[in-house]
Amino acid sequence: MVISGGEQSGKSLTMAEKLETHYLEDGDNENEALLYWLVGHSYDHTRKEFQYLVEDFSKLGALKFASKAINPGLIELHDGTIIRTKSADDPRNLMMEAPHGILACEGSNLDLETFERIMGRAAPKRAWVIIGGTLEFGGSVGWFPQILTGWRDGQDTASFELPTWTNHYLYPGGRNDPEILRLENDSSDQFFMERIAGKPVPPRGLVFPEIRPDIHVKPVEYVEGHPVHLWIDPGYAGAYAVNACHIFHDQVHMFDQVYVQGKVLSEVMWIVQHSPWINDVRFGVIDIAGSQHQGMPSHAEIWLQEPPEGIGLYLNSTKININEGTERLKGFLKPHPLTNQPKILINPRCTGILSEFGLVPNPFDGQTRAYRWQIDHEGNIVGTVPIDKWNHAIKALIYGIWDNFGPGYVASRQKIAVKYW
């Protein structure tokens, strides 16, 4: 469950009450002592929920012990139930134990990798997960608003907004409280919707709004002995992107990535040569520009050279229409109607491509740098192709999909491509 709360909406109180409700339900089905986590970006982000739980369990006569500190904090009930605070600052805090339920406090401040760890720790005991947060002002970009939208109508998921005006103690007039009306009048529509109403305002112009952190971002890893594909888009001022992927049947696992800025090819090559998967690299593809000469050996020719200049890898290259490539990738992002599995999974460590999709900040400057369409001042898409910027890893992904799986039905072909090995 995801709860998007407006400022001072009582989100922390609601989160604590949700845990208490689950506690009453879980106790009837478990033969072992229950374990719950309160997870925040820092311990301080769990403070309000911790305090509400101490107060409520104390009133119920169920409280046996509660620590005064929250870094870490511990609540123990008379029946053996344990509630611990966890800080995402130290990844080791989210390991070892398998809880029965998790409250992710101030979820919008957690990064995507922490979200993946939380979901991973919930799996062993089919634990419930409740994520609460306030949307950051500025276009609702990132994994939290994506989850908020994606879990709204799921079979086993739910999400809802908790507007500021639901706090009738502070705003007795509800939606028509004078202070709420003043905020609406004095604020921009986007600020009011995100920070007060708790509703995401999808950023206009994203090329791939279909990307979902709960569906497409998984901890897929390098499998030793399985062929590695390198899908490359060279760049300098923007980024030099090298996507390291496995292909299992018709599903792509992007398990690692070299994503650097301001680096020459020799520096990129050194990183690749010292990667743990280098000995299993078998196939590759590069942007058509990477196979062209400009008074010196092309990037493709250098990759083909033996070490230390290259890695002895032949790279295919094909000219692809931008919109046809975009549609091909969209098809791979679409989950199967029966399995709900897409044809591509991306490891959360691949922050370069995830930033281009709009799920995480740009790894170079921490800003939002997503692949977008050009839009006018009214939010309408302008032109027939997206802005050719912040898309190096996405383009490399398109090259690889096109090269290995063909154009599908998005392009009319006069010739059939045949590979010779």
End position of a domain, from candidates 180, 202, 224: 202
Q: Are residues 197 and 211 in the same domain?
A: no
Q: Are residues 94 and 177 in the same domain?
A: yes
Q: Are residues 227 and 79 in the same domain?
A: no
Q: Are residues 227 and 256 in the same domain?
A: yes
- Using CB atoms within 10 Å of the CB of residue 38, give its burial: 0 to 12 exposed, 13 to 18 middle, 19+ buried: buried
Q: Give the domain extent around 241.
A: 207-421
As beta bridge partners, residue 230 has 244, 284
End position of a domain, from candidates 202, 236, 252: 202
Q: Are residues 184 and 215 in the same domain?
A: no
Q: Which of 162, 203, 153, 157 is nearest to 359 (CA)?
A: 203
Q: Are 39 and 104 in contact (CB under 8 A)?
A: yes
pTM of model > 0.85: no
Q: Are residues 216 and 140 in the same domain?
A: no
Please tell me the total count of domains within the chain. Answer: 2
Q: Are residues 262 and 179 in the same domain?
A: no
End position of a domain, from candidates 202, 225, 247: 202
Q: Are residues 343 and 248 in the same domain?
A: yes
* 210 alpha-carbon distance from chain centroid: 12
pLDDT of residue 277: 97
pLDDT of residue 29: 62
Kindly report the CATH number assigned to the domain that includes residue 16. 3.40.50.300
Residue holding tokens 């679409």?
Answer: 334
413 vs 416: CA distance, rounded Å? 7
Pair of tokens at residue 413 = 């072909």
pLDDT of residue 379: 67
Q: Are residues 253 and 295 in the same domain?
A: yes
Kindly report the CATH number assigned to the domain that includes residue 350. 3.30.420.280
Q: Are residues 324 and 296 in the same domain?
A: yes
Q: Are 94 and 39 in contact (CB under 8 A)?
A: yes
pLDDT of residue 30: 59
Q: What is the pLDDT along the chain (421 residues), one digit of tens a residue?
A: 888 888 888 889 999 999 999 988 887 665 778 999 999 999 999 999 999 999 999 999 999 999 999 989 999 999 999 999 999 887 677 777 889 999 999 888 888 888 888 888 888 888 999 998 888 755 556 788 878 777 776 667 888 888 999 988 899 999 899 999 998 888 887 788 888 888 877 667 889 988 888 889 998 999 999 999 999 999 888 899 999 999 998 899 999 999 999 999 999 999 999 999 999 999 999 999 888 877 688 999 999 999 999 999 999 999 999 999 999 999 999 988 888 889 999 999 999 999 999 888 889 987 778 899 888 776 678 888 899 999 999 999 999 999 999 987 654 444 444 444 4
Q: Which of 177, 212, 214 is nearest to 196 (CA)?
A: 177
Q: Are 319 and 349 in contact (CB under 8 A)?
A: no
Q: Are residues 234 and 116 in the same domain?
A: no
Q: Are residues 249 and 269 in the same domain?
A: yes
